[in-house]
Structure formats: C-alpha cells, structure tokens
C-alpha cells in the first residue's frame, strides 16, 4: 500500500528524530550494528566482538623482536588464552594484531597471497614501501566496519629491508590505515600504555638502549612489559604462571624469521622475571 506524503510527514515529525530512525521503525532499513544509547526501560544489548590484545615490537641488536600476549576477550569475558597474534606474512615480514582476530587474520591471508603473487610474477620481492602501503589499504578498506564497531584492527608490521641499506624496519598503524615508522619501539592494544612506559624507561634510562640489547635481554624486557601490563589490564594475558602459557615471540633479522621456543621463554622468565 502506497503511503501519502502527508502521512509520511506526520510519521517523521512524531515518531522519529532523524531519517534513518524513521526508516528502521518502518522496516525499511536494517537495524544498526552499533549499540544505541540505552533508553529508560529498554533492555541493553550485551554482544561484544572478540578482540585480541596486547602486542609490542622493538629493535634490538639482532633485528626486530615482535611479541604478543595470548589472551582474546569479548567484553569482560576471556574467550581464549592461546591466541596467535604474531603472524608470519613472508620470510622477512611479520604482522602482529590487536583488535578483532577474524578481520586481522583475513588481512594477513590477503597480504600473504599478495606478496607471493608479486614474487612469482615479478621474480623479485615486493619493496618494503609496497608492503607497508598494501596493509594500509586493507585497513582503509575495512574502515566501514570499524565505524560500525565490529572490525577494528590496529596492527604492527615488522620487516627486514635489504635495499639500499640493510636494516630492520618497524611500522605501526591507526584504524584508518595511516602508517608510522617507529625508530625504536611500538605497542598497541589495551595494555599498550603500560608497555610503552616500560620500553621508554628502558630505552632512556636502562643499562643500555634497546637497540644494543642481546636476544636474552630483549626477551626478558618483553616478558616484564607484558606481565606488568597484565597487572592493570584484564584484557592482557601476560604470563599465565599456573597454566604455563607464555607470550608468542618472533624475531625478524637478515636471516629471516625465528620463532623462539616456549622452553627458552619459560627459562628466561624463571631466571630474570619470576
């Protein structure tokens, strides 16, 4: 049945404060994905997307260390305590994720296939600038979901650049895809304020700057930073002493990517942290 313009105007002025709300009330628009401001007497929606935090990376004498705790949460609920937030994209590139894992893992798969396709068709590796912009574009294309509150991802990207001067490169991003190159360290996620404070202190007033640390010293500081963040942030897993769950730590260097075995991380934690 066709509505008259008069009836439409009456409904608009009396039943809704804005045009999208009117369309939803008439069944002409899908419900909003973002929870609206609760009204008195109406039940609140409690669904929360699964999110993964906290991640960090910094340059040390052996390249770039990238680490992430293992906890994934949905609101105040722990969904999983063994989440993988440090993902290998190619033999010299790592993407660490903070945010919605489903979206981030799909981005990682797209990046991995894009880098492989470029290498096989052009018979050479994609440049670091190309890799950085590829991830930036994925984040920018995902911003519509971010605005709906269902797909925010704030990653860290670490790689080794052989040209023109061989060096480790480290980047962090915002949710809109802007990339920033870090000279020393980066951290994102809910526990990142505490992590950045510790890394700044160690880099400025520690026994030696971060870029002069040995591998064992770098791992020790990483464990201390994540364990400290977990004390004040329930979304950060830190080190689970009872479950013997340790952060995932990878190193990017000239030789490629090295995943530190859990036995070594556990031994360093027991010796230098616990």
Distant-in-sequence contacts of 165-172, Cβ < 8 A, 24+ apart: 166/254, 168/59, 168/63, 168/64, 168/252, 168/253, 169/64, 169/128, 170/57, 170/58, 170/59, 170/64, 171/132
Q: Provide the token pair at 109.
A: 């798969």
What is the DSSP code (8-state) at residue 243? Answer: T
Nearest to 88 by CA among 167, 182, 159, 30: 159
Catalytic residues: 53
Torsional class of 122: left (φ above 0), alpha (ψ -120 to 50), beta (otherwise): alpha
In angstroms, what CA-CA distances link 130 with 66, 80, 138, 146, 201? 21, 34, 13, 24, 33
Q: Provide the token pair at 156.
A: 């860290």
CB 65 within 8 A of CB 58: yes
State how far the Cα of 70 lies from the Cα of 223, in Å rounded to an integer. 12
Distant-in-sequence contacts of 259-265, Cβ < 8 A, 24+ apart: 260/219, 264/219, 265/219, 265/223
State how far the Cα of 251 lies from the Cα of 158, in Å rounded to an integer. 9
What is the DSSP code (8-state) at residue 193? Answer: H
């Amino acid at each position: 049945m066709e509505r008259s313009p008069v009836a439409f105007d009456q409904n608009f002025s009396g039943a809704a404060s804005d045009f999208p709300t009117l369309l939803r009330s008439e069944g002409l628009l899908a419900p909003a994905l973002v929870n609206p401001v609760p009204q008195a007497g109406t039940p609140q929606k409690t669904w929360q997307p699964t999110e993964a935090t906290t991640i960090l990376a910094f340059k040390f004498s052996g390249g770039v260390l990238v680490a992430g705790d293992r906890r994934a949460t949905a609101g105040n609920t722990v969904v999983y305590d063994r989440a993988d937030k440090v993902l290998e994209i190619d033999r010299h590139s790592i993407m660490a994720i903070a945010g919605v894992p489903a979206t981030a893992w799909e981005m990682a798969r797209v990046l991995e296939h894009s880098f492989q396709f470029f290498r096989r068709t052009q018979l050479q590796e994609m440049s670091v600038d190309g890799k950085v912009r590829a991830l930036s574009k994925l984040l920018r294309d995902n911003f519509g979901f971010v605005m709906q509150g269902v797909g925010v991802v704030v990653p860290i990207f670490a790689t080794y650049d052989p040209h023109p001067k061989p060096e480790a490169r480290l980047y962090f991003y915002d949710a809109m895809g802007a990339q920033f190159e870090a000279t020393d360290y980066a951290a994102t996620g809910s526990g990142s304020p505490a992590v950045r404070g510790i890394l700044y202190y160690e880099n400025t007033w520690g026994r030696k700057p971060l870029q002069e640390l040995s591998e064992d010293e770098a791992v020790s500081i990483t464990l201390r930073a994540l364990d400290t963040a977990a004390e004040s942030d329930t979304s950060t897993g830190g080190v689970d002493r009872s479950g013997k769950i340790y952060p995932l730590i990878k190193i990017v260097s000239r030789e490629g990517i090295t995943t530190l075995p859990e036995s070594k991380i556990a031994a360093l934690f027991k010796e230098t942290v616990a």
